[in-house]
């Protein structure tokens, strides 16, 4: 019988406002289904939604592609249903994907510690939540929970999923130097990296077309991007796609827009589904995302797959992009460097931009071809479920 993994997450398909974690879990289910019974427990509506998804069945397993999903209603009914799943359903690994969420992270850990749910293997994926940029948001609330978690011993017996060595160090800073950590990068949409865009040519006008595709929240650093544009002298069209998570932050963005020079044109284009997001990159010269930190960066990968170069911060796994000829990864301390990258891209000839677009796709395809990411994720779950013999725990495999 296949080991059963129950993944807890606040958002899953058909929802998409959860961003990268939704992509990661869907990709995991796609590559793990042959070896594991991968199941997802999630909310019955998208993040911030007031109504459930149309046509779903609540509190029962439903086939969704290659995995089964159980959609839960809001609390308090949610908590009763979650307790039932943890106590009545057979499972080998509980995979927590939102550490700071009461319903999807805190409560399951408390139930486990109090032995109100079976004490079996628990794998926690912080998904960038322990990065300094992420901890800086709602600092007091998060610090209070971390202190309480340590006092209650909630970290005891956990295995942590780090997507790279940087995140592993961040986990140790929170959970202690002896934390049991397994390192395996997020699984991207493999099909995008293999499939070459049918046409990489594009129509060029006088403006440089930049695009931002992400949640509008402080971590994604859209305000920084706007400040960079105040210093750009080339004509730029900057389109913004993504859900507005923080209204106060968005008001700050709009105040910066009002002060932009005439050569910068900004437009908010609303929210995109995953499928729509991949299809729009061909219309832009570059993805502009000076993020405070990403443990993978699915939108970066998807942009490169579509042949769209990127200008990003150096706080993601996507590094040395300029030497690869497909973009720039620049320290956030170097605001002038971002301005120069925009000017450099604008000054490129049509042929040079076309070469860069081809290198962007080839770089993403190379990641898929040369990465052992699928193998590492399979071994991670084999180890945590106890189905991998002689594997050193915490070794990174």
Please check the confidence at residue 282 and state whether its pLDDT lies above 90.
no
Residue 58: CB atoms within 10 A of its CB come to 13
pLDDT in tens, 61-118: 999 988 999 999 999 999 999 999 998 889 999 999 999 999 999 999 988 888 766 6
Contact between 39 and 68 (Cβ < 8 Å): yes
Please check the confidence at residue 10 and state whether its pLDDT lies above 90.
yes
**pTM for the model:** 0.85
pLDDT, position 348: 94
For residue 116, tell me if it sits in a domain. Answer: yes
For residue 120, tell me if it sits in a domain. Answer: yes
pLDDT, position 111: 85
Helices 350-370 and 298-305: crossing angle, nearest 10°? Answer: 120
Residue 161 shares a structural domain with residue 281: no
pLDDT, position 316: 92
3-state helix, strand, coil in the chain (%, to 5): 40, 15, 40
Alpha carbon distance 15, 163 (integer Å): 23
Please report, for residues 225, 311, 312, the alpha-carbon distance to residue 319 in angstroms, rounded to integers and kept in the order given: 19, 11, 9
For residue 276, tell me if it sits in a domain. Answer: yes
For residue 315, tell me if it sits in a domain. Answer: yes
Contact between 39 and 4 (Cβ < 8 Å): yes
Cα-trace Rg, the chain: 21
Please check the confidence at residue 202 and state whether its pLDDT lies above 60.
no
Residue 256 shares a structural domain with residue 350: yes
Please check the confidence at residue 235 and state whether its pLDDT lies above 60.
yes
Alpha carbon distance 273, 346 (integer Å): 29
Q: What is the mean pLDDT of residues 343-359?
A: 93
Give all strands (DSSP E) within the chain, no chain letters. Answer: 4-8, 37-43, 62-64, 67-72, 93-96, 121-124, 159-162, 180-183, 208-213, 236-241, 264-268, 286-289, 310-313, 327-330
pLDDT in tens, 114-136: 876 666 799 999 988 898 878 87
pLDDT, position 392: 40
Tokens standing for residue 30: 């796609």
Residue 360 shares a structural domain with residue 211: yes
Residue 258 shares a structural domain with residue 355: yes
Residue 263 shares a structural domain with residue 150: no
Residue 172 shares a structural domain with residue 212: no
Q: What is the mean pLDDT of residues 2-27?
A: 90
Average predicted confidence (pLDDT) for the chain? 89
Residue 318 shares a structural domain with residue 378: no
In which band, very low, low, confident or very high, does the pLDDT at 341 lie, cut at 50, 70 and 90?
very high
pLDDT, position 24: 87
Please check the confidence at residue 22 and state whether its pLDDT lies above 50.
yes
Asked if residue 348 has a cis previous peptide bond (ω within 30° of 0), the answer is no
pLDDT in tens, 130-162: 988 788 777 888 999 999 898 888 998 999 999
> 83 by DSSP, 3-state: which?
helix
In which band, very low, low, confident or very high, does the pLDDT at 168 lie, cut at 50, 70 and 90?
very high
For residue 118, tell me if it sits in a domain. Answer: yes
Residue 61 shares a structural domain with residue 195: no
Q: What is the DSSP string of 229-281?
A: HTT--S-EEEEEES-B--HHHHHHHHHHHTT--TTEEEEE-----HHHHHHHG
Contact between 22 and 65 (Cβ < 8 Å): no
Residue 176 shares a structural domain with residue 216: no
Residue 206 shares a structural domain with residue 160: no
Tokens standing for residue 250: 């968005």
Residue 195 shares a structural domain with residue 324: yes
For residue 392, tell me if it sits in a domain. Answer: no
CB-based contacts of 323, cutoff 8 Å, min separation 6: none
Alpha carbon distance 78, 107 (integer Å): 11
The length of the chain in residues reads 397
Q: What are phi and psi of 266, to 5 degrees?
A: -115, 140
Residue 136 shares a structural domain with residue 217: no
pLDDT, position 20: 82
Q: What is the mean pLDDT of residues 269-292?
A: 89
Query: Which DSSP letter does residue 216 get?
Result: B
Q: What is the mean pLDDT of residues 319-337?
A: 97
pLDDT, position 92: 93
For residue 206, tell me if it sits in a domain. Answer: yes
Of all residues in the chain, the percent with pLDDT exceeding 70 is: 93
Domain range enclosing 235: 190-370
For residue 389, tell me if it sits in a domain. Answer: no
Specify the CATH number for the domain of residue 331. Answer: 3.40.50.2000
Domain tally, the chain: 2
Contact between 183 and 165 (Cβ < 8 Å): yes
């Amino acid at each position: 019988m296949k080991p059963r993994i129950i993944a807890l997450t606040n958002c899953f398909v058909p929802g998409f406002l959860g961003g990268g974690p939704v992509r990661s879990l869907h990709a995991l289910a796609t590559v793990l289904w042959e070896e594991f019974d991968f199941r997802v427990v999630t909310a019955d509506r998208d993040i911030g939604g007031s109504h459930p998804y149309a046509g779903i069945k609540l509190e029962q397993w439903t086939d969704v592609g290659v995995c089964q999903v159980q959609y839960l209603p809001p609390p308090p009914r949610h908590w009763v249903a979650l307790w039932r799943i943890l106590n009545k359903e057979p499972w080998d690994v509980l995979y927590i994907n939102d550490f700071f969420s009461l319903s999807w992270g805190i409560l399951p850990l408390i139930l486990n510690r109090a032995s109100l749910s079976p004490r079996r293997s628990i794998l926690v994926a912080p998904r960038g939540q322990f990065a300094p940029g992420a901890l800086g948001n709602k600092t007091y609330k998060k610090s209070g929970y971390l202190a309480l978690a340590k006092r209650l011993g909630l970290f005891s017996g956990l295995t942590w999923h780090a997507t790279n060595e940087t995140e592993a160090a961040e986990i140790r800073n929170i959970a202690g130097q002896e934390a049991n950590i397994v390192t395996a990068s997020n699984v991207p949409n493999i099909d995008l990296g293999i499939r070459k865009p049918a046409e990489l040519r594009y129509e060029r006008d006088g403006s440089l077309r930049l695009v931002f595709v992400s949640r509008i929240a402080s971590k994604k650093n859209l305000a920084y991007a706007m400040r960079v544009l105040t210093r750009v002298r080339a004509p730029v069209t900057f389109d913004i796609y993504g859900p507005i998570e923080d209204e106060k932050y968005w008001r700050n963005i709009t105040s910066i827009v009002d002060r932009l020079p005439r050569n910068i044109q900004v437009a908010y284009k609303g929210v995109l589904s995953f499928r729509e997001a991949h299809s729009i990159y061909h219309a832009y010269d570059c993805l502009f995302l000076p993020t405070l930190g990403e443990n993978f960066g699915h939108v970066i990968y998807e942009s490169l797959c579509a042949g769209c170069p990127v200008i990003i911060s150096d706080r993601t796994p996507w590094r040395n992009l300029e030497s690869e000829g497909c973009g720039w990864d620049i320290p956030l301390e170097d605001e002038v460097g971002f301005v120069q990258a925009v000017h450099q891209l604008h000054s490129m000839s049509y042929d040079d931009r076309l070469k860069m677009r081809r290198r962007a796709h080839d770089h993403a395809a190379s990641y898929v071809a040369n990465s052992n990411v699928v193998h590492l994720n399979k071994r991670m779950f084999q180890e945590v479920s106890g189905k991998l013999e002689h594997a050193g725990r915490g070794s990174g495999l």
